[in-house]
Structure 1
Amino acid sequence: MSKVLILATDGFEQSELMKPKANLEDAGIQTEIVSLEKGEIKGWKDKNWGDSVKVDKTVDEIASCEGYDALLLPGGQMNPDILRMNDQAVKIVKMFAKTNKPIAAICHAPWLLAEAGLIQGKTVTSWPSIRTDLENAGAKVVDQEVVADGNLITSRKPEDIPAFSKALIDAVGAKANKSEMATA
């Protein structure tokens, strides 16, 4: 069974974690929440704190991306800003890139892609307020519902979640099919 690591911390945009997580699980893909500390992390919804989700592992417990088929980076303004300041969180993003596994980032989460040095020469999209940051990191930024460039999948906002989820599910399915064929 395929598995997606969801990297998040307090202040994640609630819909951008919960809805893709549910869509992945509905498609038969396991998910695992990884954060900076054990316990629970709290979402952000409608300009206030939202629901909490249980943390399955901490970033310090992730030594490789073996056993995972993709990485999901939910947005929200606080969440990716905090994560990009954590060396181990950035290292996890780089591990997924190094193994060419799909990395899906929505809203403000492409900040993590920039911090990891992954977007130079890539076409991406994001929430409007960080587009200049992404351009300054060398990306070509477009205003589209979902953009796939190599192993990177990016979207702009909660309304893009259906297309974002489909792109990630398709990428995980393609990756899973390749590894199944390799072992057959």
Structure 2
Amino acid sequence: MKITLFFIAFLTCYTSYSQDANKVLILIKEESSQLEFMLENEALKMSEMLENSGFEVTTATVTGKRLHVGSVSFIPDLKLNQVNIDDYDGFIIPCMIVDKTAEETVSFVKNVVKSNKPIAAQVASVYLLAEAGALKGKKYALYSDQSAKSAFEGSVYAGKGVVKDGNIITSGGCPWAEHKNRGKDRTTELTQAFINMVKAH
């Protein structure tokens, strides 16, 4: 049943939108060390909130391949290199607990930032924004101050919550952090802030 519900949530996203619906992309990092947990508790929650707000949701991974782990089976809509940034009104990147991100993903985020469209990132994906140079001169949220790291040079640490600076929203807490008693899960708060930003953009 869990597999079926997860499948439906992602694969029926086109059926209930008007042509005027905001289109957003969720970038799923398939190399996550806690893939099943984070798909269920972070990515799916984001997708459901976005769809319930009337957004048209598309998912992408670097390979575009079917992911199957434990009780979860998921087929992304697109490979990352098939994504046309101009087609979307905003981009959101779950934490997904990834230590190192593919260079293709960093390059993609750089192009999103150049487009000046809303982008939201949570925990591990805040590092992705930093690697892409998106946080220079910006306030950001994370579980701790990362100013000593070269990627965060010129950025300003603003706490563990959800922080908005320009078209960028960051969050310092994810489901896995809360699961391990390392802080509050900010998924709902981050996604709602992203929804508000896209609608106002």
With structure 2 as the length reference, what TM-score do the two structures score? 0.73
In 2, Cα distance between equivalents of 1:72 and 1:110: 11
The amino acid of 2:28's aligned partner reads A
Superposed CA deviations along residues 97-145 of structure 1, whole A, max 9, x for unmatched, are 1121011001211111011111111100123486754874331112242
**Residue 76 (structure 1) aligns with:** 96
CA–CA distance in structure 1, aligned partners of residues 71 and 81 of structure 2:
26
What SS is found at the alignment partner of 2:136?
A: coil
Task: Tell whether 2:112 aligns with 1:96.
Answer: yes
Please list every run of 5 or more consecutive structure 2 residues that lacks an aligned counterpart in the other structure. 1-20, 175-184
Looking at structure 1, the residues matched to 71 and 172 of structure 2 have their Cα atoms a distance apart, in angstroms, of: 20
Give the structure 2 partner of residue 163 of structure 1.
189
The aligned residue for residue 141 of structure 1 is 157
**CA distance, structure 1, for counterparts of residue 89 and residue 162 of structure 2:** 20
Answer yes or no: is the 8 Å Cα contact 1:111–1:130 preserved in 2.
no
Asked if 1:123 is matched to 2:139, the reply is yes
Match of 1:107 among 123, 145, 148: 123
Contact 2:49 2:191 (8 Å CA) reproduced: yes
C-alpha RMSD over aligned residues: 2.3
Deviation of 1:154 (Å) = 0.6
State the partner residue of 1:150: 166
Structure 1: tracts of 5 or more residues without a match = 44-48, 176-184
The residue aligned with 1:8 is: 28
Would you say the 8 A contact 2:147–2:155 is kept in 1? no
Give the TM-score, by structure 1 length.
0.79
2:200 is aligned, of 169, 174, 181, to 174
Structure of greater Rg: 2
